[in-house]
Each structure stands twice: as structure tokens, then as C-alpha cells.
Structure 1
């Protein structure tokens, strides 16, 4: 028994010394650089595990800064490739005794973008939280594996957000065309103006509050509740709501129903020039003015 205890203590001590040496090898990383926005058509960000934050710049240039932990090579690199500015963050692993440990989620990348001048923003995110605020661009494309996203005050012709696992919140933003695809995670929209919006979710709640009446709003969920409210009562809307859970509520002024069953409700307001289509295999649907 004493041998077992002695051996255990020795392992703990060795592990403690090794971990101390492992931590001692790390150091703070900080890098920042500015670029002329006139020479940048596209921002391409490839992020492994840090948080990424986009926001409006007070200057006419693009400023990129990164702050976090470093072991070995620089964890974040900035590189101008043609008309694209490419920003990459790679996960750093230690070799040896603590080879399984990583330095993920140890830093943040800040990207300041001028009000106009950058046509495209492309972000591929493996595991880290995403923030975008007060920026304007032609196209925003976000491919997210795991991490929460908060989009606020963003204006773009097209917005595409694809997430495997993570919550997405879009507030006070404007898109001519908006497409959200989610495998697992809730999606929240508030004060969003979009002519054509589509939300597809395999598992998660979809909540859309204070939206303006647009040409088309389509929401399709496999498992999850759907809630929609308009900032003003629609004046020309064709409505279709379908749910296998048999729980559909449509509180819309002037809605004349031509189909009213437990699982399917259809009707229109005015001429029905615009479209609202909601479908959930297993979830409650609720629509109000």
C-alpha cells in the first residue's frame, strides 16, 4: 500500500513539474497591423479556436490585431494575397508529456473595418465565439463549426450563416437576402430587415421578433419551436404554417384563412403579394403582429 501511495505521489510531482515547465514555455502574443482598404476586396478569416470580433473602424483602413497565448510559432498570421487579406489562427499543440493539451480559446482576433470599402467578408470558424457589429459590406459568409455568434448593426446585400453547433443572434441588421442554416443551436432575430430571409434548422428554436414585412420569410425546422412577430401589421401577406405537433397560433390582423386544420393553416392578408411559410416537424408555431 505504501508503495502504491509513494508511486502516486511521485507521478503527481513529476506531472506538476512537467506542467509547470509546459506553462513556462508559453508567452503572451500580440500583433497588430493596418491596411489600406482600397486595396482589399475580400477579408478571409480562418479561425481554429480563438474568438473573432468584427466592428466598424473610425478610419478608412482595415486594422487587425490579435492578443493571446503563444507557444512556438505565431498562432495568428496576417497576409495580403492579391486583393484579399487572409487572417489565419492555428491551434497550437505541445509535444511530449502534455501533447494532448492545446492552447485553444486563449485569445481574441479584432478586425476593424471601415464603413464602406470591403465588398466581401468570409469567415471559417472551427471553435470560437463570433461578434460582428456596425459594419457594412456587400456579402457576409460565415461557416461555423462550434461557437456562438452575435451579429448586430450589420448591413449587407447578402448574408449567409451556416452553423453545425452554436447559438446565433442577429439584431438590428439589414440584408436584401439572408440565409441561415443550423444543425444544432437556437437562432434569434430581432429588428431585422430583409426582403428575402430563409432559416433552416435541424434542432433548435427559431425566434424572429420585430421583423419588417418582406417579400419572403421561410422557416423550416425538424425539431424546435418557431415564433414570429412583425414590427407593423402586414398588409399583403400569404401565410402557410404547418406543424406535426398540432399547435399553431396565427394572430394576424386581417388574415382570411382558406385552410384551418390542427396541423395546417393557410390564408392571406390583402392581396397576399408577400410570403410567410413556416414548417416544423415537432414544435409549436406562433405568429403575431
Structure 2
């Protein structure tokens, strides 16, 4: 008898969830919003997203154009607001009312932001749960705070870029960021063909792969758990190298590297005068560096 009651309750709950989702989808309407702003009047672009995808790309005009496409139940899910020289874009999830008030139903949407080249000095993005794309944009400073979701950065030019992620993959490709800082709790980090004078990558748990990087003033990579793989686009000519790992192998395949220390857990050396620095540390992971 108890089993029958338990099964019945389960069916009621599942049926209620399905009905709630159905009711939400019936009530939800298509949402579209488009606005354009003169880039000369905007110094900082701030974006806050609960769950929608956010896509940045280069604009072919001198205007910042913003559009949003998704679902709307009651209030507008996305708002645009000018605040002095700031443009603030906010996307907030809408909860279903009644018994299912704690649940959000319906399809996620997308926010598209087109930025002119050298049009906006600062871009700040705070993302709770949604994928991020930045393609062929140029700015002075980029700050991305990502809770969950993957980030793809391609063809981006900036003086400084700070990317932090709690849970999600980050890919940076074909970009020039003079001062680059990447902080990751859980998730893999991939970089390819990136030019940076000062770069620092810190990861608690995840692979760090840096390929075809240009020799810069300093590159620091630190992981608690996860393999580290680094390759240079051109063989370094003046590089001081320090690599340490607690539990696994260190493989340094660099032409002209003269080692000053060579143990299983620590390897040091330099190429040429050693004017630039490469510092690598892994608590538990294989380290491989090649030119």
C-alpha cells in the first residue's frame, strides 16, 4: 500500500511539473529588443546575465548596437539603460508563479552586442549561467566574471583582460591582450596564438593548454590539479624557465635551454640572457613545454 501511495505522489509531482512547464510555455511570448547608441558617448559597457547567452562582435558602424531575443512572460527579461557614460544591460530570469514559483521554465535567449573598433574603453561582463562569445572586438579593458558556462574569446585586442570562472571551459584564440589574467576553479583553459607581454593563468582543477604563444615578458601558470601544456609559436631567444610539479613528470623540450637545476620535481634553466620569464607550477599534473 505504501508503495502505491509513493508512486502516486511521484506521478502527481511529475505531472505537476510538466503542467507547470506547459502553462509557462503557453503564457510566454516571444521577446525582441533592439537599440543603438553613439559609441562616442559610451565609455563603459556593463552586462549582467542570469542565464542567456551573450555574444560580442565587431560593429561595422560607429554605434554600439544591442539586441535581445528570447521568451518573455510578464516583465521584460532584458533591460538596456544609459547611466552617464555607462551603458548597462541586464538579463534577469523570471520565475514561474504559484506552486512552481521556484522554477524557471522556457527556452533561454541570446543577447547580441556589436561594438565598434576602439569605440568603448571598458567592457565588464558578469554571467551566472550561460555561454559567452567575444569575436573581433577591440577595447582597453575587459573583465569577465563567469559562474557557469563556456567562454570563447577570438580575435580580441585589449590592453588588459581579466577572466574568472567558477565552472566552465575558457578558450582564447588569435588575440592580443597585453596584460592577461585567467582564474579558474573548475574547467579547462585553452589558449592558442595569443600575444601577451604579461600573462598569468591560475587553475584549481583543469587542463591548461597554451599553444603557439608568443614569447612575452612573463608567463605564469599555476594549477592544483591538471596537466599543463605550453608551446611557442617561435623558439624563445631570451627566456628564464622554472617548472615544478609535486607528483608527476616535467618535460622541457626547448632548444638552447641550459639547465641550472634538473630534478624530478624541479627544473630550472635559461635560454640566452633569460630576460623574459616562464614560471610553471603544478600540484598534480604533467608539465610539457616545447618550442
Q: TM-score range by the shorter chain?
A: over 0.9
Q: In 2, Cα distance between the equivalents of 1:189 and 1:69?
A: 34
CA contact under 8 A between 2:21 and 2:106: conserved in structure 1? no
Q: In 1, Cα distance between the equivalents of 2:52 and 2:145?
A: 15
Q: Is structure 2 residue 289 aligned with structure 1 residue 287? A: yes
In structure 2, the partner of 1:135 is 137
In structure 1, the partner of 2:87 is 85
After TM superposition, the score normalised by the length of structure 1 is: 0.95
In structure 2, the partner of 1:252 is 254
CA contact under 8 A between 2:25 and 2:105: conserved in structure 1? no
RMSD value, Cα = 2.0
The alpha-carbon deviation at position 114 of structure 1 amounts to 0.4
Q: Is structure 2 residue 248 aligned with structure 1 residue 261? A: no
SS in 1 for 2:199: strand
Measured against aligned partners, the alpha-carbon deviations of 1:184-226 in whole angstroms (never above 9, x if no partner) come to 1000000000000000000000000000000000000000100
In structure 2, the partner of 1:174 is 176
| Cα 1:10/1:79, change in 2 over 3 Å | closer
CA contact under 8 A between 1:50 and 1:104: conserved in structure 2? no
In structure 1, the partner of 2:156 is 154
In structure 2, the partner of 1:204 is 206
The alpha-carbon deviation at position 41 of structure 1 amounts to 0.1
After TM superposition, the score normalised by the length of structure 2 is: 0.94
| Cα 1:15/1:134, change in 2 over 3 Å | closer
CA contact under 8 A between 1:224 and 1:282: conserved in structure 2? yes
Runs of 4+ residues deviating >6 angstroms = 1-15
Q: Is structure 2 residue 227 aligned with structure 1 residue 234? A: no
- Correspondence list, 1:1-289, <5 A: 18-103=20-105, 106-289=108-291
CA contact under 8 A between 2:24 and 2:106: conserved in structure 1? no
Q: Which runs of 5+ in 2 are unaligned?
A: none
CA contact under 8 A between 1:135 and 1:155: conserved in structure 2? yes
Q: In 1, Cα distance between the equivalents of 2:122 and 2:158?
A: 9
SS in 2 for 1:131: strand
The alpha-carbon deviation at position 95 of structure 1 amounts to 1.2
Q: In 2, Cα distance between the equivalents of 1:203 and 1:69?
A: 35
Q: In 2, Cα distance between the equivalents of 1:183 and 1:3?
A: 43
